[in-house]
Structure 1
Amino acid sequence: MIRLKTTKDIEGIALSGKIAASIVKELASNISSGTILKDLEQLASSAFKRYNAKPAFLGFKPNGARNPYPFSICTSVNEIIVHGQPTDYQLKEGDILKIDLGVISKGYYSDTAFTCAIGEVAPIVRKLIEATQKALNEAIVAAKINNTLGDIGFAIEKTGKSYGFSVIKALTGHGVGFSLHEDPTVYNFGKRGEGLVLKPGMVLAIEPMLSLGSSKIKKQKDDSYVTADGSLSAHFEHTIAVTEKEPIILTN
């Protein structure tokens, strides 16, 4: 069941989203060759406390997961698409890192993710990151009242394919706000005009994922997902609100 949000609810989610954006900014400024993933986890954990907020991922068990997630943020390197754990791995030149995090503030949830390159990477990798971010931007533009979830998925799929990359179809976005994962499911593919009609008060986490190679995925023992062929992947995400006018990004 989809629970529409009031103006007051959206304001609360936006405050949660601002905290998420601030933590993202802090993490991004501390990422370089030589950075250890678990140090980013410690940095994020301190930031959550400083903002008097809670990490939405800590202890959360997504559908199909073997265990509740044991960290505040997800750190997914190279072929790991999502749900990578902050280990002792030390980032090196040529890696790409995806950071995904959720915030609980005053009972409201937000969810956001970004991808960054570590040092110099191949032009095709820069293009992958650019394409994934553009896919998110195009999907947000499509998230207008009276459009459909199919319009959002179509925008993502069209953008990814226009760059020559594969769209990860088995992983999705979702509703968010009162809890971390709510209805509806927001697919990264679709047809224009098909699916659920968007209404004011819907709050969605839109999160395109693209890969250099196969669109197929494999689940690891730690509940992370990797590309089936080991190819590099990228991931961006914003929490947005559908309104009577234009969509609003709540994790800016």
Structure 2
Amino acid sequence: MVEIKTDAALTAMREAGRVVGDALQAVRRAADVGVTLTELDQVARAVLREAGADSPFLGYRPDFASTPFPAVICTSVNDAVVHGIPTDYRLRDGDLVSVDCGARVGGWTGDAALSFTVGEARPADLTLIETAERALTAGIAAAVVGARIGDISHAIGRVGRAAGYGIPEDFGGHGIGRAMHEDPHVPNDGRPGRGLRLQHGMVLAIEPMFLAGGSGDYRTAADGWTLVTLDGSRAAHAEHTVAITEDGPRILTLPS
């Protein structure tokens, strides 16, 4: 069931989203060659703690996972698409890092992600990241009252397909509110004019994921969480929590 949020709820969700945005920016500033992924997780934990927020990621265990998630951020490096567990891996020159973060404040949840490079970037990685961000912008622009879920999916997929990137079929955006994952599912590719019609008060986490190799194929790593590209190519991920309003889409996960 899709929950329609009140305007007061959207305001409350903005507070959770602000914490997410601030945490992601803090992690990005801290990321450098030699820094471990667990150290980045500690940076995010400090932001959440200072804001009085808790994490919807920590301890989360969906049906596909054999163990609860042990961190407050996902850190997916190079060929990892999403759900990477922070470890003692030290970032290396040229790494492509995708960080996903959630926060819960007053019972409401925010969820967002960004990708960036560390040290000297590969031009192809910068193009991949820019394309994911551009697809996110296109998806958000399509998230207007009266449109349909398929319009968002089509806007995202068109950008990724035009660039020759792969799109994993089974993962995409989702509704969000009191729970991190709510209805509806928001695929990253699809046909316009199809699916649920968007209404004022719906809130969606819109999140393009693109695979540089052109194939959307992936596998689950030995940790039971991390999804990695089957061909070893690199991946990028971009995400915002977005409210559908009569005044247009409102991004709730921008930093302070």
Cα distance in 2 between the residues matched to 1:125 and 1:28: 16
Structure 2 letter corresponding to 1:251: T
- Equivalence for 1:103: 103
Cα separation, 2, equivalents of 1:205 and 1:63: 20
Aligned counterpart, 2:122: 122
Contact 1:170–1:217 at 8 Å: present in 2 too? no
Q: Which runs of 4+ in 1 moved over 2 A?
A: none
Match of 1:47 in 2: 47
Q: Distance in 2 between matches of 1:112 and 1:179?
A: 14
Structure 1 distance, partners of 2:125, 2:42, is 28
Alignment gaps of 5+ in structure 1: none
Report Cα offsets for 1:162-191 as digits up to 9, x if no partner. 222122222111100111100000100111
Q: CA deviation at 1:63?
A: 3.4
Matches for 1:201-220 after TM superposition, within 5 Å: 201-213=201-213, 214-220=215-221
User: Do the aligned partners of 1:111 and 1:237 also contact (CA within 8 Å) in 2?
Assistant: yes
Q: Report the Cα offset of residue 56 of structure 1.
A: 1.2
Conservation of the 8 A alpha-carbon contact between 2:61 and 2:69: yes
- In 2, the alpha carbon distance for the partners of 1:112 and 1:245 equals 22
1:70 is displaced (CA, Å) by: 1.1
Amino acid at match of 2:216: S
Aligned residues with identical type, % of pairs:
40
1:230 deviates by: 1.1
TM-score relative to the length of structure 2: 0.96
Residue 132 of structure 1: CA displacement? Answer: 0.4
What is the correspondence of 1:141-160 to structure 2 with a 5 Å cutoff?
141-160=141-160
Q: Which ranges in structure 2 are unaligned for 5 or more consecutive residues?
A: none
Answer yes or no: is the 8 Å Cα contact 1:209–1:235 preserved in 2: yes
Structure 2 counterpart of 1:221: 222
8 Å contact kept, 1:84–1:224: yes
How many residues end up aligned between the 2 structures? Answer: 252
Among 238, 241, 247, the residue aligned to 1:239: 241
CA distance in 1, matches of 2:87, 2:181: 25
User: What CA distance in whole angstroms lies between the structure 2 residues aligned with 1:169 and 1:137?
Assistant: 20
What is the letter of the counterpart of residue 234 of structure 1? Answer: A
Q: Does the 8 A contact of 2:13 with 2:177 survive in 1?
A: yes
Give the corresponding residue for 1:75: 75
Cα deviation for residue 193 of structure 1 reads 0.4
3-state secondary structure, aligned to 1:109 = strand
The CA deviation string for residues 71-118 of structure 1, in whole angstroms up to 9 with x for no partner, is: 111111011111101101000111100100100001100100000011
Using the TM superposition, give the Cα deviation of residue 221 of structure 1 relative to its aligned residue in structure 2, in angstroms.
2.8
Moved more, 134-143 or 209-218: 209-218
Question: What SS is found at the alignment partner of 1:134?
Answer: helix
Letter in 2 for 1:250: L
Letter in 1 for 2:103: V
Map 1:156-195 → 2, pairs under 5 A: 156-195=156-195
The residue matched to 1:29 in structure 2 has which SS?
helix
- 2:200 is matched with 200
Contact 2:13–2:108 at 8 Å: present in 1 too?
A: yes
Given the two structures, how large is their TM-score scaled by the length of structure 1?
A: 0.98
SS at match of 1:48: helix
Aligned residues of 1:17 and 1:239 also touching (Cα < 8 A): yes
